[in-house]
Chains A and B, each alone.
Chain A
Amino acid sequence: MVDTSEQIDALARRAQAGDRAALAALVQSQQRYVYSIALGVMKEPADAADMTQEAFMRVMRSLHTYRGETRFTTWLYRLVTNVCLDGLRRRGRPVEPLDADDDEGPSEVVDPDRWSRPDEQVELRESAAEVRAALADLPASQRLALTLHYFEDMRYEDVASVMNVPLNTVKSHIRRGKERLASLLRRPENGVEAVPCGAT
């Protein structure tokens, strides 16, 4: 099991030197993260699978260009993000800028009293379908920032580096995304179910 970024960097160096077993271990350890990024950007599982495969093909072709200036995972996730954005353009789908200021959504949706009633038992709808529907309602920048944020060993700085946006923008994306999701997933107290905007 490959856990730490140091182990992953070591695997990348061995793969660069032509070690096929190291390349296999590298792909096995990173495929879930690469697929998760692709799914976050593309939304459709079939598109995400295509982008994951294309991203790994590009990694194998350009592995020799990785110079170790950043952690390998940062290099890899940036490459995957770019592959997915290119994929969106090729499919004629709108590409939302990752540094977009998403002021409009959260402030309207988030319950301003959410944290002001400490005695309230907040119920969250936690089924996979409900969470996926709520995630689909987020802007791409917030969804990608949250996806990267929940990877092991990813700091805010790494997320900013992958998305190529300022650190404060990343923090804003993550905070607003979580607030919006909390609002969308919150189970209403009076029994009236508030279906998220993007729910199907």
Chain B
Amino acid sequence: MRRDVDDRLDRVLREALVVEPPPELQARLMALVESAPLATPAAPERRWLLWLDPNVWLGLVAVAVLAWSAWSALAWLAGFTFVLGDVPEALIVLVSSPAVGLLPRLDLDLTSLALWCAVGAVVWLLNASGALEAALPGTRA
């Protein structure tokens, strides 16, 4: 009797608990399947396909050229020596230049000009004192 009740209960519950979705929902799900983006290929296959892409090769060439250029620029900078000229003479040349007559016609920012002049004067004084030569042993005045 117990077995009989159990069996009937199982049958009743299975019918009640495992149910088909409504047809309208089934149709929506099938529409979802039709519009779903398909999976991308597995990773190992994609790795091989990468080498067939010309953009990958062009990218590699670009990286190589950039590395070579950077190396060349660094090599040039490594061998570069700073040359500080004769600042008073340069100022005299600048002041005596015909271009000085054009200065009033330029819309100059006097504050910036004064600031840069101050910076120039400081650098000149530093150079005159020999402090720059001490800091940059590879340079010549």
Contact = CB atoms under 8 A, between A and B. Distances in A.
Interface of A: 15-18, 20, 23-24, 27-28, 31-36, 39-40, 45, 49, 52-53, 56-57, 60, 63-64, 115, 118-122, 124, 126, 128, 131-132, 135, 146-147, 150-151, 178, 181-182, 185
B29 A53 contact: yes
B21 A35 contact: yes
A150 B12 CA distance: 11
Contact of A131 (B1, B2, B16): B16
Residue from the set A24, A33, A132 with the largest chain B CB neighbour count within 10 Å: A24
Contacts of B36: 20, 23, 60
B17 A185 contact: no
Given A15-B39, A135-B16, A24 B21 contact: no
B100 to A, nearest CB: 72
Given A28-B30, A53-B29, A135-B16, 19 more contacts: A17-B39, A17-B41, A18-B38, A31-B21, A31-B25, A35-B21, A49-B25, A53-B28, A57-B32, A122-B1, A122-B5, A126-B12, A128-B15, A131-B12, A135-B13, A147-B17, A151-B18, A181-B9, A185-B9
Given A17-B42, A64-B40, A150-B18, A126 B8 contact: yes
B33 interface: yes
Contacts of B39: 15-18, 63-64
B26 interface: yes
Nearest to A147: B17
A2 to B, nearest CB: 15
Contacts, number: 108
Residue from the set B5, B17, B19 with the largest chain A CB neighbour count within 10 Å: B17
B11 to A, nearest CB: 8
Contact of A124 (B5, B26, B32, B33): B5
B137 interface: no
A135 B17 CA distance: 9
What 3 A-B pairs have minimum CB-CB distances, sorted nearest first? A35-B21, A18-B38, A131-B16
Given A35-B20, A150-B17, A151-B18, A118 B5 contact: no
B18 A32 contact: yes
Contacts of B44: none
26 contacts: A16-B42, A17-B39, A18-B38, A18-B41, A23-B33, A23-B36, A27-B30, A27-B33, A32-B21, A33-B18, A39-B19, A45-B22, A49-B21, A53-B29, A60-B37, A64-B40, A128-B15, A131-B13, A131-B16, A135-B16, A135-B17, A150-B10, A150-B13, A150-B18, A178-B9, A182-B5
